[in-house]
Structure formats: C-alpha cells, structure tokens
C-alpha cells in the first residue's frame, strides 16, 4: 500500500509518457486552493492512452493513483486539464457524508415537474416522457455476474484503443472519487458540488459494477458490468440518469422510454452536461 503521508506524485509509475502536474488555477476556483497538484496529465494526447490506462488500472491499488482517459474541450486542447480549469478539490470526507438517494432525490426535485393532485393518466409524464411527481427511489442493483474490473478493461480496449487522448492519474482509491478530488467542473450547470456526482457514481460502482473510464470537459464515460436486464429495471435506472444528468434525456429526441430501452444490457453509460 502507498505511504499515505507522502506526496502521491513523488513516485510516479514508470513508463509514462511525458507529462505535468496540474494545480487548480485561481481564475477558475470559487475559493482559495493552497494545496499542491491534484492530478498528473500527459503533455500531449497519445494513441497509446488506452494501453497505458490498462496497465495503470491493474496497479492502482499499489500506486494509489487511479488512471483516467482525459478528453478536452473541442477546439481548445488545453481546456480544462492543462489550464487547471478546476475548482477547489473536495475531500473524500465530503463524499462520505452524502448518500446517493439523498443526492438523487434533490436533483430529481429540481428537474422534474410536479404532478397535480387531479392529474389524469395522460399527465403522468412530461413532454419528454419523464415521469412526473415524487422521486421514485433508487433502482434495484443489477444482477451480479461479471467482474467489474474485467469489464472495464474490455470496454477500454474495445472503445479507446488507438484513440488519441490525454492520460491522467489522480490520487484516489476509487474512480468515483477522482471527480471530486480533481475539482472537476463538468456538471457545473447542474450542481456546483461535484462531491454529489461522486456520491452517485460510488453507488453505481456498488450496485451496477460501474467503473470510471474517461472524463472530458463536461462528459463522463463509465463501464458497467451489471446493467439493467429488463424494461422495468431500465426505467428505474433511467430515472436516476435523468436526475443525475437531465441533458441526457432532454436533448434526446427519442424520449425517456426509448432512452431507458437503450440501457438494457448496455456495457457503458455516458453523460454530457450542457
């Protein structure tokens, strides 16, 4: 196990491409950050990013560094990673005190229409097909089966091999925590507290075998080892996705039911915040 009192970047793994340590830039933070680097990032996108990720993912428990495939804002390759366009990182303790059900209920109430007491059957959903009314609760866990780490490796190899991406390393024990520990601002138009996003992803890691694979300016890509297997299960997961990232549904012309249908057996979940 890594020395918890040492600088996590003192002993970077061997074989990395040229890279740099990144500190949140004061121009982008809501508060003052007096700590050190929050992540290591390769200097340039590399077509070998997936290969590096696979190796670093295997040794993450030893290094204490969780690997990420990092995408940039289209047309602005230094944003957000090289520019330090990050907020003050949230400590792991700020994730620990949150629950997915509490976070998702609050999100749901902020993005979902209320259901009038005298609503007819045709008023049970909004124009996108999203159910109206109270938070329906967490979806049940997916059926355990495949090893989540193995699924993550297979997904990265199939989806990202040969794609030129930045490579990142974050001092974090689990992928969900990397989002808060870097001060990532991707969902800033939905929540300014990225630890809330981390808390939900933690729950998905536990319930659906999700693993954080790639993070962009305002995008997030997860592998999923235990996705919903039936239409009813998928509707429950889709409700969580709508609360977590309403843009996924609002900007999907097919509507909520069709969105849910695409989650059945899906080996990855991708999100984009406007």
- Tell me the C-alpha to C-alpha distance, in Å, between residue 77 and each of 21, 59, 165, 226, 241: 16, 28, 10, 34, 28
Expressed in percent and rounded to 5, the helix, strand and coil fractions of the chain are 35, 15, 50
Residue 232 neighbours by CB under 8 Å, 6+ apart: none
Query: What are 22's strand-pairing partners?
Result: 39
Per-residue burial over 182-212, b = 16 or more CB atoms within 10 Å of its CB, e = otherwise: bbbbbbeebbebbbbbbbbbbbbbebbbbbb
Go through 73-83 and write b for each residue having 16 or more CB atoms within 10 A of its CB, e for each that does not.
beeeeeebbbb
Tell me, what's the pLDDT at 122? 55
Sign of the alpha-carbon dihedral angle for 261, 244, 92, 88? positive
- Predicted pLDDT of residue 116: 57
- The CA distances from residue 154 to 46, 158, 258, 260, in Å, are 19, 6, 26, 23
Burial 53-62 (b: 16+ CB within 10 A, else e): bbebbeebee
Q: Please say whether the dihedral angle defined by the alpha carbons of residues 77, 79, 84 and 86, taken in this order, is positive or negative.
A: negative
Return d(Cα 163, Cα 271) in angstroms, integer. Answer: 19
Question: Tell me, what's the pLDDT at 29?
Answer: 87
Specify the pLDDT at position 2.
45
Q: Which residues of the chain have pLDDT under 50?
A: 1-2, 4
pLDDT in tens, 181-238: 999 999 999 999 999 999 999 999 999 999 999 999 999 999 999 999 999 999 999 9
Q: Specify the pLDDT at position 1.
A: 46
């Amino acid at each position: 196990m890594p020395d918890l009192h040492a600088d996590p970047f003192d002993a970077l793994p061997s074989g990395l491409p040229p890279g740099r340590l990144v500190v949140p830039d004061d121009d982008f933070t809501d508060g003052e950050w007096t700590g050190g680097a929050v992540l290591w990032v390769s200097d340039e996108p590399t077509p070998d990013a997936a290969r590096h990720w696979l190796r670093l993912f295997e040794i993450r428990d030893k290094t204490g560094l969780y690997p990420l495939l990092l995408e940039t804002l289209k047309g602005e390759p230094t944003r957000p990673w090289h520019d330090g366009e990050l907020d003050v990182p949230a400590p792991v303790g700020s994730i620990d005190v949150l629950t997915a059900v509490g976070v998702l209920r609050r999100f749901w109430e902020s993005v979902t229409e209320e259901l009038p007491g005298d609503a007819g059957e045709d008023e049970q959903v909004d124009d996108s097909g999203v159910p109206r009314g109270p938070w329906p609760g967490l979806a049940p866990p997916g059926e355990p089966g495949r090893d989540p780490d193995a699924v993550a490796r297979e997904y990265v190899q199939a989806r990202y091999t040969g794609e030129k991406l930045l490579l990142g390393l974050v001092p974090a024990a689990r992928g969900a925590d990397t989002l808060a520990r870097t001060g990532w601002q991707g969902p800033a138009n939905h929540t300014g507290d990225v630890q809330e996003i981390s808390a939900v992803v933690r729950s998905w890691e536990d319930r659906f075998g999700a693993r954080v694979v790639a993070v962009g300016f305002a995008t997030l890509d997860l592998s999923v080892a235990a996705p919903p297997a039936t239409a009813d299960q998928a509707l429950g997961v889709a409700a969580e996705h709508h609360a977590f990232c309403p843009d996924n549904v609002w900007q999907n012309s097919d509507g909520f039911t069709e969105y849910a249908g695409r989650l059945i057996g899906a080996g990855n979940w991708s999100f984009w915040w406007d």
